[in-house]
């Protein structure tokens, strides 16, 4: 017996009302390099507000005044900014923000549990942010449903045609939902997100990534039939074998009509390291699709231009905008990781 599916998760290229940011502050891991990373957040906010609204969570009133000063300095339209004061552990809105589905033609916020990528970092404040913003009417009157399941937005990608791409390394990590089997997780995702096909990858990782292989660092849907993915073409690199194996897995995937996806390889930047010598997860797959544009992380690397050109081919009707993100990867994430899009109807 088939029940009518009334939940759908819009793909990222669907019309948006805004994007959520949780601003870095001196009470967290960004403190030593705040002056280095804040210009990146300012430019992300500036590009978003040229096209839609931005919802910013500030740590407290003092922090809010500071953030508003930064935005005013680059002439961001204050009418496009919604800001609220709630303390946070960190800034990764992709993973602690709401996943917005459409239910009976209305947006609905799903507030999954965020446990710091399987208990790696403190996350109690971040896990409360969506509910606190909702109570403060940060999402206007959008309905919210709290889901008793650990799931991060960076762990899932949808093609808008019933397919959801993810990695077993992340979703089946015993530190997230230890009582749930793969079948249990598939059933929950199907019911809550309105997808029909779960496309699992067993390969793919980035050195320095601490999310257990979030898909948004590896492979991204650009349209219902196109996937842009990171390709390592250097046999001497530690990633070569894993990413070659991931490429083969992607080739085997099929669209809702049974055809192979069009695969677009994104270039491999030169290795980036922090001052302690740890490799940082530089990836061009961590782009953000917004109304009329795609914001792409760049790393002061010769491959930046190649990445921008290849993504222009994937998004012929959108402006491709590079955002310098070397600062972001010093905390082991990039542009998509610090943002969460909010579909039409969520922000007034």
β-bridge pairing 7-8 and 99-103: antiparallel
| Strand partners of residue 279 | 273
Confidence class for position 1, pLDDT limits 50, 70, 90: very low
Q: Under 8 Å CB-to-CB from 86, ≥6 apart: which residues?
A: 57, 58, 59, 125, 128, 129, 132, 133, 136
User: Looking at per-residue confidence, does 5 or 2 come out higher?
Assistant: 5
Looking at residue 316, its pLDDT comes to 98
When pLDDT is averaged across residues 140-161 and rounded to a whole number, the result is: 97
Q: What is the dihedral of CA 27, 40, 36, 210, to 10 degrees?
A: 60
pLDDT band at 337 (very low <50, low <70, confident <90, very high): very high
CA distance 133 to 271: 38
The burial of 32, by beta-carbon neighbours within 10 Å (0-12 exposed, 13-18 middle, 19 or more buried), is given as exposed
* DSSP track, 175-238: TT-TT--HHHHHHHHHHHH--SEEEEE-----TT--SSS-GGGTEEEEETTEEEEE----TTST
- pLDDT of 248 over the 50 cut: yes
Using alpha carbons, select from 54, 59, 56, 64 the residue that is nearest to residue 31: 59
Q: What is the pLDDT of residue 4?
A: 53
In this prediction, residue 3 has a pLDDT band, given cuts at 50, 70 and 90, of very low
Q: Are 208 and 332 in contact (CB under 8 A)?
A: yes
Q: What is the mean predicted confidence (pLDDT) over 25-29?
A: 96
The pLDDT tens digits of the residues spanning 44-60 come to 999 999 999 999 999 99
Mean pLDDT calculated for residue range 307-325: 98
Region 66-81: what's the mean pLDDT? 98
- Mean pLDDT over 106-132 rounds to 97
Q: Which domains does the chain have, with CATH numbers?
A: 7-343 (3.75.10.10)
Q: In the structure, what pLDDT confidence band is assigned to residue 6 with cuts at 50, 70 and 90?
A: confident
- Average pLDDT (285-298) is 98
Cβ 195 vs Cβ 183: under 8 Å: no
Are 249 and 203 spatial neighbours (Cβ–Cβ below 8 Å)? yes
pLDDT at residue 278 greater than cutoff 60: yes
What pLDDT band is residue 348 in, cutting at 50, 70 and 90?
Answer: confident
∠ Cα 184 188 192 (to 5°): 175
- Greatest Cα-to-Cα distance within the chain, rounded to the nearest angstrom: 59
* 3-state SS, one letter per residue, for 230-293: ECCCCCCCCCHHHHHHHHHHHHHCECCCCCECEEEEECCCCCEECCCCCEECCCCCCCEEECCE
Mean pLDDT for the stretch of residues 316-337 = 97
pLDDT digits (tens, 9 = 90+) for 90-109: 999 999 999 999 998 999 99
pLDDT digits (tens, 9 = 90+) for 204-226: 999 999 999 999 999 999 999 99
């Amino acid at each position: 017996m088939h029940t009518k599916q009334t939940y759908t998760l819009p793909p990222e290229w669907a019309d948006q009302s805004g994007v959520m940011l949780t601003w870095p502050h001196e009470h967290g891991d960004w403190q030593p390099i705040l002056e280095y990373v804040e210009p990146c957040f300012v430019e992300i906010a500036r590009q978003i507000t040229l096209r839609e609204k931005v919802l910013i969570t500030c740590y407290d009133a003092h922090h809010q005044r500071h953030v508003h000063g930064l935005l005013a300095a680059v002439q961001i339209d204050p009418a496009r900014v919604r800001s609220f004061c709630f303390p946070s552990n960190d800034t990764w809105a992709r993973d602690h923000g709401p996943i917005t589905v459409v239910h009976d033609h209305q947006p609905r916020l799903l507030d999954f549990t965020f446990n710091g990528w399987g208990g790696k970092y403190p996350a109690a404040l971040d896990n409360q942010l969506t509910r606190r913003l909702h109570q403060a009417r940060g999402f206007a009157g959008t309905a919210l449903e709290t889901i008793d399941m650990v799931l991060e937005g960076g762990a899932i990608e949808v093609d808008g045609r019933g397919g959801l791409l993810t990695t077993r390394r992340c979703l089946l990590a015993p530190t997230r939902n230890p009582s749930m089997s793969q079948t249990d997780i598939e059933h929950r995702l199907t019911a809550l997100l309105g997808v029909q096909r779960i496309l699992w990858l067993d390969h793919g990782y980035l050195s320095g990534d601490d999310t257990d292989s979030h898909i948004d660092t590896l492979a991204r849907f650009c349209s219902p039939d196109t996937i842009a993915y990171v390709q390592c073409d250097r046999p001497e690199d530690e990633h070569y074998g894993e990413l070659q194996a991931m490429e083969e897995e992607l080739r085997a995937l099929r669209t809702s009509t049974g055809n192979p996806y069009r695969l677009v390889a994104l270039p491999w930047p030169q290795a980036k390291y922090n001052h302690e010598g740890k490799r940082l997860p530089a990836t061009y797959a961590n782009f953000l699709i917004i109304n009329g544009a795609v914001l792409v992380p760049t790393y002061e690397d010769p491959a930046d231009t190649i990445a921008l050109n290849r993504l222009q081919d994937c998004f012929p009707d959108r402006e491709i905008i590079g955002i310098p993100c070397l600062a972001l990867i010093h905390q082991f994430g990039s542009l998509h990781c610090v943002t969460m899009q909010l579909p039409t109807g969520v922000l007034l």
